[in-house]
Structure 1
């Protein structure tokens, strides 16, 4: 067996793992990168990028379909070539993956180890049966994988996860999306706009990351104008029916309906890849989901002995499973793993203001944790509807609601929730204000051009400012 002695071992070569490896090396530590599967991040292979490619095609089809409302008429029927759509998705996806592969190939071969890593103890990893790595600190960056309920597995090849959608050669005729979370909403609407009959079905009423009831109600009404969204579908039965799937559930009026689909797309979440890496051989403290507990400010895990030489980053930690957060966590983990290996204390790293965007139309965005993060009695609210917002009406995108929250004691902006046109841009402006600790009055001193959708932010802030002043 090959024996490797190193300062830092990074397990996983995704977004977080690559960031951790490069950060550790930059901090002066010797390091190895261990990967048991294909190189290439979740984002590039099955996440952010291929889904946005599918959404781009859907937006183009939708825009052509609505052109007549602007007085622009397209002669003939709009034809969607499913083969061409999916070919471009795969082609561009592979291109994005190629960028990641080139980054990995730039790492010296001696610093890359292929194989499945498993803990022997807190300082030792065994990679398959060919290499034993002894190190001063370890970064777990093993990512996550899509899961689906066991009760759906009898559907056989009619059941897919979001990881498999992008391997379709053509678009199907009908798809039931189980789970109205971020992935389910994005893929569901995109498939609908590309001519697929879609029903997005959930349980318990959750819609994406939304926690504000009024924003949730606005999202449900808006999306149901376009496709079926049933956040609490009360599914009674799902079974294979020849080459299709029959779903029996409660309809809008409470009566039972049965619908048939080519596929069931399980968008029911992802779980960290930590079940088979030998955590039971370490001293780590695990939470109720068997994921290592850790300090998000340092990414250092919690040990039964107190101080742990193990760090965790990205989807493996299941803290904020978003690419930009994974990259930040990877850098923090890599720096601190290197510091610990060199006998230096670990340090808190930069954690940015929270921001979450769902690329539906209208988009959904949460800033600062949204209403869920607010403590009752400590905040005021301002809001604006986009129904009559000037720029939104010009663009035929006048649907949505934005709510902003301000702290009663300090008059600072503390968060927002929205379903709104261009929410990806509005959310960034608000997140920057949040990270800089701006008051609502200071935000209103910032420039707002006319006519732009950002004027909706100003209207909401004015409403919030007035509501804050009533408490002074």
Structure 2
């Protein structure tokens, strides 16, 4: 590293996930770092995004499972949630994580100077703070994040609405709620409020929910949400939002039919836009895109060679783990000379609905659009033993492979814990693994990840026969004599009794069938 200009080697404008990662990387490389943040340290994720939303989603799931758990013999225990306590627990977790993951970590890096003021870029080497002080640095990394965006719907600005942050900060649960937008944030909060007792209506302009995901996932997820009592409408045009003393009215068209939905509150979850206004970027030669995002090259360098950018401010995909990766990479490239490229070719995504949506790589239609002939295996969860044991067979595992090379090029999962399953397919895509590589890998029995292997086997085997081999039984009981076995089975009509020798022979046949080559 060779840096000669200014009081700092690198200045980071923005103290969220990308900015914090950039500052730490700079310190690790021996740089003098200025971390400039005019708001709350930690950015969106820990303060008003993924951390608070996921703890509220888990609370709502616990409430839902009190009644809807699928196990006969376990009594349902209904009851109203205590929203103020749930919200207070969420706030306490946010405070704890902000302290432990940001403030405490920052103290471990004496070469990082935190400046808690809003900043404006004066040049590619100078930042002016709100107090009037100028900070100079050889390189600057902009990590100012993004903010909720509301579409220009007539009446919406005048009526006002909730965004994700204000919705999670409500003093009480709304009596009813309309959610405009059915991507990740909208669906997660819609289901969360519905499970806590709020009637919810979802309005989505595109033909299906989670429109960026595989079509089968969107169609199935909408049906599951409807089965929980949410009103889900897709392919609609919102015409106007009105607000009166008794709440909101949202006028919309579904096809040629004019309709209206009414609720106490409206939550707009139509996406986020980069926070670039007011930072002076247009005056120092930094080009912005059509949605206000900073345009960067493969090294995260802007059109001003001394300025880099990372995180939500450069546009989609807006995920905290992508922001942290990009922040560290931008700082490294700024300080060492563009040695590493920004690569999102194997990027997993998770939407924390229930069932959860996770995906990586190409859909079958995207593969065809790129000139790749796809092989597709879609395995319903009813063929996965763990799902049967858990009494939750909602969803499926879909694998997409290149017909020519048999390499895995996409995976799309709808399952209760789909987020825990997606890392294996991500590595498969990154390392160029094939169908046979997945089928030859041990997957522990009675885990949902076994569904990955079963889906890979289903490329070449009959699913019904595969399920019989893969989930022959759920429980095995041994009895010392036939009389005890008969007494137990009299109250368990779904039981098959076989002798020990027959059990060993059946096991031998199953092992032989399971280890037959998949391809």
TM more than 0.5: yes
3-state SS in 1 of match to 2:459: helix
Aligned partner of 2:309 in structure 1 is 312
Contact 1:371–1:416 under 8 Å retained in 2: no
**Residues 145-224 of structure 1: pairs in structure 2 closer than 5 A:** 145-151=147-153, 152-156=156-160, 159-208=161-210, 210-224=212-226
Aligned partner of 1:333 in structure 2 is 330
The offset of 1:289, in angstroms, is 2.4
C-alpha distance in 2, partners of 1:254/1:79?
40
C-alpha distance in 2, partners of 1:41/1:148?
20
C-alpha distance in 1, partners of 2:201/2:327?
37
The offset of 1:269, in angstroms, is 1.0
Q: Is 1:439 the counterpart of 2:442 in the alignment? A: no
Q: Is 1:428 the counterpart of 2:431 in the alignment? A: no
C-alpha distance in 2, partners of 1:118/1:144?
17
- State the Cα deviation string for residues 304-338 of structure 1 (Å, max 9, x = none): xxxx1211111111142111111111111111122
Contact 2:180–2:269 under 8 Å retained in 1: yes
**Residues 313-462 of structure 1: pairs in structure 2 closer than 5 A:** 313-340=310-337, 345-348=338-341, 353-371=346-364, 373-376=366-369, 377-378=371-372, 379-462=374-457
Contact 2:11–2:33 under 8 Å retained in 1: yes
Aligned partner of 1:71 in structure 2 is 73
- State the Cα deviation string for residues 94-121 of structure 1 (Å, max 9, x = none): 2222222333455549822222221222
C-alpha distance in 2, partners of 1:213/1:150?
27
Aligned partner of 2:233 in structure 1 is 230
Unpaired segments ≥5 residues, structure 1: none
Q: Is 1:258 the counterpart of 2:260 in the alignment? A: yes
C-alpha distance in 2, partners of 1:203/1:350?
31
C-alpha distance in 1, partners of 2:403/2:362?
17
Contact 2:144–2:276 under 8 Å retained in 1: yes
The structure with the larger Rg is: 2
3-state SS in 2 of match to 1:183: helix
C-alpha distance in 2, partners of 1:372/1:21?
40
Structure possessing the higher relative contact order (Cα contacts under 8 Å, 6 or more residues apart): 1
The offset of 1:373, in angstroms, is 4.4
C-alpha distance in 2, partners of 1:330/1:91?
27
3-state SS in 1 of match to 2:79: coil
- State the Cα deviation string for residues 359-407 of structure 1 (Å, max 9, x = none): 1111111112545642445122111112453321322221113221111
Contact 1:90–1:166 under 8 Å retained in 2: no
C-alpha distance in 1, partners of 2:283/2:149?
25
C-alpha distance in 1, partners of 2:365/2:31?
40
Contact 1:382–1:465 under 8 Å retained in 2: no
3-state SS in 2 of match to 1:160: coil
Contact 2:211–2:218 under 8 Å retained in 1: no
3-state SS in 1 of match to 2:421: helix
3-state SS in 2 of match to 1:66: coil
C-alpha distance in 2, partners of 1:72/1:214?
33
Unpaired segments ≥5 residues, structure 2: 463-518
- State the Cα deviation string for residues 239-298 of structure 1 (Å, max 9, x = none): 1121411223457x97554332111011111111112211111223332223222124x2
CA spacing shift, 1:465–1:442, aligned 2, 3 Å: farther
What TM-score, normalized to structure 1?
A: 0.89
- State the Cα deviation string for residues 201-220 of structure 1 (Å, max 9, x = none): 11122422544222222222
C-alpha distance in 2, partners of 1:240/1:319?
32
**Residues 105-120 of structure 1: pairs in structure 2 closer than 5 A:** 105-108=107-110, 111-120=113-122
Aligned partner of 2:301 in structure 1 is 300
C-alpha distance in 2, partners of 1:137/1:12?
14
Aligned partner of 2:469 in structure 1 is none
C-alpha distance in 2, partners of 1:225/1:254?
26
C-alpha distance in 2, partners of 1:320/1:214?
22
What TM-score, normalized to structure 2?
A: 0.81
- State the Cα deviation string for residues 168-206 of structure 1 (Å, max 9, x = none): 222111111111010001111011111111112111224
3-state SS in 2 of match to 1:331: helix
